[in-house]
Structure 1
Amino acid sequence: MKKLLCLPIAALIMLCSCADSSSEHIKTLYCMDTHMTLKAYGDKAEAALEKAVGTLVDLDAKWSVTNTDSEIYKVNHAGGGTVQVSPETSELVSFGRDMYEKSDRTLDISIYPILLEWGFTIHYYKVPAQERISKLLWNVNASKIGVNSSGVTVPADMMIDLGSVAKGAASDMICGELRKAGVESAVLDLGGNIQTLGSKPGSGKWKIGIRDPEGSGIIGSVSVENKAVVTSGGYERQFTENGKTYHHIIDPSTGWPAESGLVSVTVIGDSGRMCDALSTSLFIMGAEKAYHYWRKTGGFDYIALTKSGELLVSSGIAEDFDLDKDHKNIKVTVVK
């Protein structure tokens, strides 16, 4: 048996362009199991970023699945009892539970035991036995999560993980704090989850590069302002065993890595946590179901790369998408 450990890589890249560096303030940190970079501009930016770092550290302490003092850890180890949690945690658990139904059950925050079985949460990867997966699937059902004024309750054999929505939710909160502090221009990179506030000083919209899954460059870029841009791709975290590659985006209906025909999905919208959730959901759905979901739901745009090498770009973002000069051979289809 041969195993290859592949570390997570960022699916989105901030593309540099000239700006007034004298007013630029930057904070970097390692939080939520990833590297983060916060940039903000103006005389109020430095103090606002200091507060933002504190907020991120606090949220990580509440939402971690491995920190024994975290609220989520306590929920998971309460034996079916109710755990009083902070408003931030209660709201995000409620959002995750609601997205289970709204995403046609493709996003399920109760999938943690299966992620653990695959080793994706502890970075020691293995292919589980089907018998083990089938047993764990009995307890994967986010609709059974209870959230009310008393706290959060999950069945004794269920465990939840907010990883599919946590960074998006955190970026929403940080943007809100910066805006309240009077900051008018900022970009947050939370491990590849990008959130923008306003426009970039001196150069208009922020330009976000979408990583090429097969190389170190980008396949294209999208220009945005006041938007979140989040990508999910199987290449971000994967391993190879006995000649077959397995990625970390698990289909809750099977307990196995999703085989949807997609390589990556980038979602662009107003809400970071919604983009975070939908990037995973659309990836699992596959191209056709993702298209119909977008048509039915609206409120966001997306860019999907298929295994056949075609880029599907929703009409609302098409004019702001630029194909990289080294990938002009890629077929781009605007979906309407």
Structure 2
Amino acid sequence: MNRIRIGIGIKKKKLRIEDKTIKIIPAVACLVSLLITGCGAKNKINTSTIFAMDTVMQLEIQGDEELLREAEDHIRDIESELSVTSSDSEIGKINSDKSGKLSKDGTKILKEALKICDMTEGSLDISVYPVLKEWGFTTGEYRVPTDDELKELVANVGFNRIGAEYASDEECNVSIEDNMQIDLGSVVKGYTGSDVAAFFREKGVTSGLINLGGNVECIGTKPDGKPWRVAVKSPFEDSKSDVLGVIEASDTAVITSGGYERFFEENGEKYWHIIDPKTGRPAKSGLISVTVIGKNGTVCDGLSTALFVMGKEGAEEFYKKYGSGENGIDAFELIMVSDDKKVYLTEGVNTIFSLAPEYSDLKVEVIG
């Protein structure tokens, strides 16, 4: 009899958005919501906690509390427009009718997502949704598909077969083949974080933190002028600590993908939700965690998945070509953790990231 173990935190998704598990450090260890010096009103941060995109989200700003309400409404608008499981959403109608229109947010996200799909040569592919469903990662009904099932499903995966005609920057006509379905869940929370941060900045907010289920976006610094401190979750099963290390961040997005986020085990083998679009199977690249740090949340979100699929060598080559932001994609930095417990840092993050004391013995290599 098969024995199945489900990864902690897995639940059925009303809106399938990839879970990113960067955590905010607890109070004594620098919980960002409490990292405010002094007790005066000038340093007060207004906080909002909402449930959207099937996850708990926290918004914290030094500014007018009414701005939080407006941001909440915007997040829910994006959710209703792009939910892959809602037949009434723009994405739902495209998947059902095989053609349809995307409005402003969907158009921006699709354009950026297809660009990342192309640059990563399909390591990110927004048409892999039917494969995820077959594994049960979108329904909670977990199973290992047969080789024949995967072969048939993978034959219908191909971002380059998605038709996209941009009527403007705020409208796009989309068409897909009969056996295809698309899903923007691999990038939508990254986009939403950066979009909400831009809204706050336009309204004069200079200090704040947006945590969309672990996708972290920092606005400026803490009110005392010090960087926000964001913890990267440990990806190890035998964790000495929940926190692998700490990033000192300001005006940037910090997004992680890891095999520990959502998985199930059957007959002693672990199957996680990060799928290699070329094989239809969970990506076994030698990496167990990829954190991407940069100004563009959509890019960071998409690359955290794509580079996990690529593996260390592919990700390093991609970084050396595109990480500077000079070759068609916004600049980014990386923290990668391998299954043999090595940590790889790119030069730009080496000075702002430090391992937790419990992991000070890990081997760290800096990628130039």
- What secondary structure is seen at the aligned counterpart in 1 of 2:282? coil
**2:314 maps to 1:260:** no
Match of 2:187 in 1: 165
Deviations 1:48-72 (A, max 9, x none): 1110000000100011111121110
Match of 1:3 in 2: 4
Match of 1:28 in 2: 49
Which of 318, 321, 343 lines up with 1:293 in the alignment? 318
Which of 43, 56, 70 lines up with 2:89 in the alignment? 70
Match of 1:12 in 2: 22
- 2:230 and 2:276 mapped to 1: Cα distance? 28
Match of 2:15 in 1: none
**2:251 maps to 1:211:** no
- 1:62 and 1:34 mapped to 2: Cα distance? 17
- 1:18 and 1:139 mapped to 2: Cα distance? 48
Map residues 270-281 of structure 1 onto 2, 5 A cutoff. Answer: 270-281=295-306
- What secondary structure is seen at the aligned counterpart in 2 of 1:77? helix
Q: Is the 8 A contact 2:254 2:300 kept in 1?
A: yes
Which of 201, 215, 224 lines up with 1:179 in the alignment? 201
Q: Which amino acid aligns with 2:347?
A: S
- 1:143 and 1:10 mapped to 2: Cα distance? 26
Match of 2:125 in 1: 108
**2:358 maps to 1:326:** yes
Q: Is the 8 A contact 1:19 1:203 kept in 2?
A: no
Match of 2:80 in 1: 61
Greater CA deviation, 216-225 or 105-114? 216-225
- 2:70 and 2:212 mapped to 1: Cα distance? 16
- 1:322 and 1:123 mapped to 2: Cα distance? 36
Q: Is the 8 A contact 1:260 1:284 kept in 2?
A: yes
Corresponding residue pairs, total: 332
Map residues 130-209 of structure 1 onto 2, 5 A cutoff. Answer: 130-148=147-165, 149=167, 151-202=173-224, 204-209=226-231
State TM-score, norm by structure 1.
Answer: 0.96
- 2:52 and 2:124 mapped to 1: Cα distance? 23
- 2:5 and 2:225 mapped to 1: Cα distance? 42
Deviations 1:162-197 (A, max 9, x none): 111000011111011111111111111111110011
Q: Is the 8 A contact 1:18 1:203 kept in 2?
A: no
- What secondary structure is seen at the aligned counterpart in 2 of 1:90? helix
Q: CA deviation at 1:121?
A: 0.8
RMSD (Å), alpha carbons: 1.4
Deviations 1:275-323 (A, max 9, x none): 0000001101101111011001111100000111010010111010111
State TM-score, norm by structure 2.
Answer: 0.88
- What secondary structure is seen at the aligned counterpart in 2 of 1:316? helix
**2:56 maps to 1:39:** no
- 2:35 and 2:58 mapped to 1: Cα distance? 18
Match of 1:302 in 2: 334
**2:343 maps to 1:311:** yes
Q: Is the 8 A contact 2:126 2:186 kept in 1?
A: yes
Deviations 1:133-174 (A, max 9, x none): 100111100111112226111112100011110000111110
Structure 1 gaps of 5+ residues are none
- 1:185 and 1:154 mapped to 2: Cα distance? 42
- 1:170 and 1:313 mapped to 2: Cα distance? 26
| Moved >3 Å (runs of 4+) | none
- 1:70 and 1:102 mapped to 2: Cα distance? 28
Match of 1:97 in 2: 114
- 1:112 and 1:84 mapped to 2: Cα distance? 19
Q: CA deviation at 1:203?
A: 5.1
